[in-house]
Amino acid sequence: MCRMHSLVLSIKPAEAQFKNWTGTSTPQRMRNFNHRRLLDKPSDGHEECRYSRDAVLPTRILKVGVKEGAACPIQLHINDRDRCGSYLALSYCWGAKQESTANTNLIQLEHANQRDLEKEIKMEQLEQTIQDAVYITRQLGFNYLWVDRFCILQDDIEDKKREFSKMATTYKNAVVTLAAGTAENASEGFLHSKSSKQKPFLPDQRFSTSMDDGRTGHIYIPERSYQPNHPLDARGWTLQEFMLSTRMLIFSDYQLLWQCKQTHLQSVTGDDDGLEYQQGIESLPWVAFDDISGPSFGAHDSDKLYLWKTILRQYTERNLTNPEDRLPAITGIISELQNVWKDTAIYGHWKEWFVQLLAWYKPEYDLINERYLRRAPSWSWVSVNGIIHFEEPIEKEDAKMEIVTAAKVTMSCRIVSEDFIDEDTREETDEYFDLEEKAQKLETKGKKRHYILLGTVKESDEFENAIALIATKMRIGVYRRIGLAVFADVEVWSEAKYRSIELESKHK
């Protein structure tokens, strides 16, 4: 059993220690980084940022510590006895395959080399970003570092599934997640200075004021917040790494940034007077971090739909090196929300909000030329690549779900064929197809379009719009989604009777 020892994090006492971060060499930067004060000093304002010294370590972890002032050999540790300890996690960009494998000496965890990695991993066998993370971990005084490339078997699909399902616990239990914000790929590293580094804008409005101790202080009024733009923020996997981490140390172009549950994104280098940082990512409900005293946003029914749609918008705007990771790369968030919401997600759709979440669409500027039905059913956003948006929340649901499982989805609904829609109605209807026109024609093969009414949204006191799936009939009673439509005329379905249909399942 793991003994629980709580420490409280504070960045306030450490701020003065970061003055020389910008423009200095890596060793000097870390000497100026008084890390123990950052991690160990109690602060009344950071009670929610406690971490356990004795959390159960992940299944596999890199042992990278220092003993008596000398660096220990890097080894892969297999935690088959639920050993406890404190560890850091790394969030970084892998980069394209050719970038990460250009050096033939570089390795990753596979069945064939696991025993060798348990004995020792040479520093030169690690990509520069991972080398930098090892360096930081040692400087911070910790023995363990979790890196996906070395802690998940890269040639074992089942092991990936198991470890992906544990992502929430892995990042939540890490003392700190190191975010390699500036590195576009794993070979680049994140501790060196870039010649193109630009200082963020500072507020134009500055006023002087007299302090009680006789000194002159300054008041800054920013016109807008500054949102750092990192290569890391464009990677699909890192959204859940950000949302699941309780504490993050972000290595930015210009600043070393810190964020925890009690501190919004801010610099800890101390040379950005008047600069307000903005992080445009939603947070998970605080109860996901065992904190019932914090804000309750995302835990109540009224927040759930908005939060999930926002997460999907932010997630699908990011890139995935492997498109087949579309669902796995967000599994950690889903797993955590399932615990909080007591609901089940099927291919990224929550049962409670199933009809609402069917109303996704592809924006016209991001249409694709293929649907991946072996990955997910056509009704799921997982079956397509790229960006998805949602229509306004349906105020009055018309369709009723009957059976919702991974294998089968049936619903009671009203359907009309395109033959029943006159020209005037068609001109007032907005249609959003999932695929580009040529690909859409190949998919439908000349079949008629059918419109499945999901529900209505009030446009004004007098008018309401109808939200409908655009579908084609695959066989009797079975339909495939091909897009979404918004009708100005709800009367289109006035004479249609409710009937039970099945939405086409994922292909085997």
User: What HEC string does 201-235 produce?
Assistant: CCCCEEEEEECCCCCEEEEEECCCCECCCCHHHHE
Looking at residue 282, what DSSP letter applies? Answer: P
Residue with tokens 């079956």: 383
- What 3-state DSSP class applies to 395? coil
Cite the beta strand spans of 108-252 per DSSP E.
Answer: 144-146, 177-179, 205-210, 216-221, 247-251
Per-residue pLDDT at 18: 31
Residue 469 in tokens: 């799936």
| pLDDT tens-digit profile, the chain (508 residues) | 444 333 333 333 233 333 333 444 444 444 455 555 455 543 444 555 555 557 899 999 999 988 767 788 999 999 988 899 999 999 999 886 544 445 566 899 999 999 999 999 999 999 999 999 999 999 999 999 999 999 999 999 999 999 999 999 999 999 999 999 888 899 999 987 665 555 555 556 777 888 888 888 877 666 655 556 788 888 999 999 998 998 999 898 777 888 887 777 777 766 555 455 555 566 676 455 554 444 454 556 768 899 999 999 999 999 998 999 999 999 999 999 998 889 999 999 999 999 999 999 999 999 999 999 999 999 999 999 999 999 989 999 999 999 999 999 999 999 999 999 999 999 999 999 999 999 999 999 999 999 999 999 988 777 899 999 999 999 999 999 999 999 998 899 999 999 999 999 999 8
301-316 and 237-244 helices, crossing angle to 10° = 140
Q: Are residues 357 and 208 in the same domain?
A: no
d(CA 239, CA 471): 32
* Domain shared by 139 and 219, yes or no: yes
Give domain status of residue 279, yes or no: yes
Task: Kindly state whether residues 272 and 354 are assigned to the same domain.
Answer: no
pLDDT for the residue 230: 81
Collapsed DSSP state (helix, strand, coil) of residue 7: strand
Together in a domain, 220 and 130: yes
The pair of structure tokens assigned to 21 is 């971060």
Residue 483 lies in a domain: yes
Q: Show the DSSP H helices in 317-432 as ranges.
A: 331-341, 354-357, 423-427
Domain presence at residue 342: no
CA atoms within 13 A on the CB side of 71: 16
pTM above 0.85, yes or no: no
User: How would you class 207 by CB atoms within 10 Å of its CB: exposed for 0-12, middle for 13-18, buried for 19 or more?
Assistant: exposed
Which pLDDT value is given to residue 195? Answer: 53
Looking at the structure, tell me whether residues 236 and 383 fall in a common domain: no
Last residue of one domain, picked from the residues 284, 304, 319: 284
- Of 265, 284, 303, the residue at which a domain comes to its end is 284
Lookup: tokens for 59: 């299944």
83 lies in the same domain as 205: yes
Q: How many CB atoms lie within 10 A of CB 1?
A: 7
Q: What is the pLDDT of residue 43?
A: 42
- Residues 247 and 360 occupy one common structural domain: no
Same domain, 352 and 280: no
Q: Which of 266, 226, 274 is nearest to 249 (CA)?
A: 266
Amino acid at 244: L
Return the pLDDT at 200: 57
Contact 433, 369 (CB under 8 A): no
Among 226, 162, 235, which Cα is nearest to 198's? 226
- Distance in Å from the first CA to the final CA of the chain: 43
Q: Judge if 352 and 267 occupy the same domain.
A: no
Q: Is the residue at 468 inside a domain?
A: yes
Is the domain of 366 the same as that of 454?
A: yes
Q: Can you give the residue range of the structural domain that contains 398? A: 348-503
The contacts of residue 342 (CB under 8 Å, 6+ apart) are none
Which of 239, 256, 284 lies at the terminal end of a domain, its last residue? Answer: 284
The C-alpha atoms of residue 239 and residue 233 are separated, in whole angstroms, by: 7
- Residue 3: per-residue pLDDT: 40
Q: How far apart are CA 251 and CA 190, in angstroms?
A: 7
How many domains, in total, are found in the chain? 2
Say which residues have a Cβ less than 8 Å from residue 325's Cβ, sequence separation at least 6.
Answer: 236, 237
Residue 238 has a CB neighbour count (10 Å cut-off) of 23
Q: Which amino acid is at 10?
A: S
Q: What are phi and psi of 447, to 5 degrees?
A: -70, 150
Between strands 499-503 and 409-413, the pairing is antiparallel
Note whether 265 and 382 are same-domain residues: no
Q: State the Cα–Cα distance between residues 97 and 452, nearest whole angstrom.
A: 42
Whether 100 maps to a domain, the answer reads yes
Residue 182 falls inside a structural domain: yes
Q: Is residue 296 part of a domain?
A: no
Q: What is the pLDDT of residue 64?
A: 95
Q: At what angle do helices 301-316 and 331-341 cross, to 10 degrees?
A: 180
